[in-house]
Structure 1
C-alpha cells in the first residue's frame, strides 16, 4: 500500500509540496526519498527485459501470436518464464491479438 502512496506523490509532486502530500497520505518524507533513490530490483530488470522481448516477438508475428505462442518463442530463445508472466507482460505492453474474420 505504501508503494502506491509513493507513486502518487511522485506523480503529483509538480502540483503539491512533497511534505504536505506525505502528511496527507500518512507516510514519512524520509521513506519517500529513500524509495526514490532505491535501485530497481533484479526482478524489475528481468521483467523489463522480458517485456521488450515479448513486444518484439509480438510485432514480428504481425500481432497474431497469443501468449502461448509468445511463450514458446521465448523458450526457443532460451528465456524461460511462466505462461502467466507472458500474459501479464502482454497486458502491460498492450499486445492484444486482433482476429480478422474469415469468410468462406
Structure 2
C-alpha cells in the first residue's frame, strides 16, 4: 500500500495552532518542510537520542519506561555530558558560568533634586 506524501499543513498540528492563538501569537514561523534545513539542530539531537537510548535499549515495555528513559537522558545530557561547544563543560555548568561572569554590579547613584 502506498501512502500519499504528507501535506505541508499537516506538519502543524491543530493543538499547536490553537495554543498560539491562546498566547496571542499572531504569526509563527515553522520553517520549511520536507528538507534537512527546517530544524537541523533539533534533528541532530533527535538522532543522537535515538542512537544512544531508543535503539540501544528497546524494545520498550511501555510508555512509562520510555518517559523515564527520556527524562533520565535529558538530565544526563544537560548536566553531565561534556560538549565541545561549551568549552568541554556540561551545558548547565556552562550556562551558570556565563551568567556568573555576565553579572556586573550595579552602581547606586543618588540623584540630587534640582534647585
TM over 0.5: no
Which structure exhibits the higher relative contact order, with contacts defined as CA atoms closer than 8 Å and separated by 6 or more residues?
1
From the CA coordinates, give the structure whose radius of gyration is larger. Answer: 2
Flag the structure with higher helix content. 1
For normalisation by structure 2, the TM-score amounts to 0.28
For normalisation by structure 1, the TM-score amounts to 0.30
